[in-house]
Amino acid sequence: MSTREYHTIDVTDHDLHRLTRETLAALYASNTPPKLFRYGNRNVRLARDDHGYPILLELNEARMQHRLAEIANWRRLGSRGETYSAFPPVAVVQNVLATPNLKLPVLEQIAELPIFAPDGILLSRPKYHEGGRLVCAPPEGFTLRPVSSNPGRAEIEEAAQLVLRDFLEDFPFVTDADKAHAIAAFLLLFARPLINGPTPLHLIDKPAPGTGATLLAQLMIYIALGGEVSIMTEARDEEEWRRRLLAKLLSGARALFIDNISKPLASPALSAAITAQVFEDRLIRTSEMVRVPINVLWIATGNNPVLSNDIARRTVRIHLDAHADKPWLRTGFLHPDLMKWVRENHMSLVWAALTMIQAWITAGRPISLKVLGMFEQWSQVMGGILEVDGINGFLSGLEAMYEDTDEETGYWTGFTSNWWATHGDKVVSTAELIGLTVELILDEASENSSKIKLGKELRRMRDRQFNGLRIVQAGIRRGSQLWKLEQVGSH
């Protein structure tokens, strides 16, 4: 018996309480397997876009009415007892939508291709995993080479070589760490539910355009998601950052790709989101606050990009350098058309990623001892996977990355060095430090405004140390804040 024949709802008497109760019963009974979910404190429906890519659509009145028409026969009686077809009443639709905490499955992640649930089970067919609040929604006709539950050494080596030799061979990684971080980014979306915590920004940087950073990011995302992902550029201001981040996360996006960074990347909203598991903000043009889970791959590209201190310490680097004046004119690639090769070998690459992760699960999920602060779970899991697969370099070279990309720390290191050379450990006023720096004082019209700006910056950096010199407040003299430097360790 079909769902439409099973649920009959009589709307003749306009009893809103009864109609709502019967409608909810029909809605819940018909939601197996689930199509409707709670996501970011909103009621949503899982659908597919024109390319077959799973998306989340908020259940507004029109979509809820459409769903209610699907799941029940709506009837009304005429004056002579005859039965007529009816529409789901608007009042009922509105009342259902207004029902607090609809008993729908809670969703936090959508997987377009196979993915490991938090319990280590590989989901490869359409399924909702309640424990992981996760939906696996592969496209129709999807087939995959079976992934062994206990991969042997030969399978592990085959998978690793398919990634290292075939997929990544043509990218000019500078160090083993750069390649290891690329593989970690490649594997992340298949392993994301195994990590109970935030994940860092993966920065693919290079000295010149045409080196392959954008292509690498696009291919890693394509392999994991089975489709393209829209590209972001830097936002103009903090408000735009917040709007973009919320819109992306509300859509159920699994990768957030910031391409071609051209100005210093600095955003409190972006910094906070990278280290958070939930993003909260107000919906545009409303007073409604929403809380949406964060389970994305953060990835960005740029030519020698500059990062704020907050962004830099939330970043792992994938550094490319072709050592060529015009990298885009290079020849001699293993795969001259790498995108075409990836499309043709897509399922083999998915198998390779899943096999590399399964090998770690079979080995007992050993954790890596190399840890990046704020991303402990990510470090332990991704580092452990790479170690089991024999890939070295994970979390190496971070200091070099900070020196290259963290412009703010470089400014303060230079400033404190000048300060120490001029005044040593003497107590000084803000005014006495004005002439020691130009980079920290931007676009200030007068000496007084420069002093105010520097005073604010010094308070912000109070107790921070740079190259063994700590900035310390030293009291107040005639209303002016005093400062001094203290040596910490060797200098």
Residue 353: is its pLDDT beyond 50? yes
User: pLDDT tens for residues 36-70?
Assistant: 999 988 999 999 888 888 889 999 999 999 999 99
What band does 491 get if pLDDT is binned at 50, 70 and 90? very low
What band does 255 get if pLDDT is binned at 50, 70 and 90? very high
User: pLDDT tens for residues 109-122?
Assistant: 999 999 999 999 99
**Rounded to whole angstroms, how far apart are CA atoms 349 and 441?**
50
Overall average pLDDT of the 380-408 stretch: 87
User: pLDDT tens for residues 208-224?
Assistant: 999 999 999 999 999 99
Ranking 259-268, 366-375, 385-394, 409-418 by mean pLDDT, the lowest is 409-418
Which pLDDT belongs to residue 184? Answer: 97
Q: Which one, of 53, 380, 56, lies nearest residue 222 by Cα?
A: 53
CA 359 to chain centre: 25
Query: Which three-class secondary structure string do you get for 417-484?
Result: HHHHHHHCCCCEECHHHHHHCCCCCCCCCCHHHHHHHHHHHHHHCCCCEECCEEEEEEEEECCEEEEE
Overall average pLDDT of the 400-423 stretch: 82
Torsion of CA 238, 244, 247, 253, to 10 degrees: -130
User: pLDDT tens for residues 228-254?
Assistant: 778 888 998 999 999 999 999 988 889
Predicted TM-score (pTM) of the model is 0.83
The backbone torsions φ and ψ at residue 375, rounded to the nearest 5 degrees and listed phi first, read -130, 45
Residue 26: is its pLDDT beyond 90? yes
Average pLDDT in the chain? 90
Which pLDDT belongs to residue 445? Answer: 47
Which pLDDT belongs to residue 439? Answer: 56
Domain spans, the chain: 3-107, 153-404, 406-487
**328 secondary structure, DSSP code:** G
Overall average pLDDT of the 430-435 stretch: 85
User: pLDDT tens for residues 433-455?
Assistant: 887 865 554 444 455 677 788 88
How many other C-beta atoms lie within 10 A of the C-beta of residue 329? 9
Q: Which one, of 462, 457, 470, lies nearest residue 419 by Cα?
A: 470
The backbone torsions φ and ψ at residue 97, rounded to the nearest 5 degrees and listed phi first, read -65, -30
User: pLDDT tens for residues 148-190?
Assistant: 999 999 999 999 999 999 999 999 999 999 999 999 999 999 9
Q: Which one, of 169, 210, 173, lies nearest residue 334 by Cα?
A: 169
| Residue 216: both structure tokens together | 């690498």
**3-state class of 299 per DSSP?**
strand
Which pLDDT belongs to residue 4? Answer: 43
Let me know if domain 153-404 sits in CATH 3.40.50.1000.
Answer: no
The more confident residue out of 400 and 41 is 41
Alpha carbon of 312 to those of 119, 377, 475: distances in Å?
A: 32, 19, 32
DSSP H/E element including 18:
helix 16-29
Ranking 89-98, 329-338, 457-466 by mean pLDDT, the lowest is 457-466
The more confident residue out of 357 and 445 is 357
Residue 126: is its pLDDT beyond 60? yes
Which pLDDT belongs to residue 3? Answer: 39
Cis peptide bond prior to 151, omega within 30° of 0:
no
User: pLDDT tens for residues 279-336?
Assistant: 998 877 777 788 999 999 999 999 988 888 899 999 999 999 999 889 988 999 999 9
**Rounded to whole angstroms, how far apart are CA atoms 311 and 171?**
25
**Rounded to whole angstroms, how far apart are CA atoms 429 and 362?**
62
| Residue 198: both structure tokens together | 């935030």
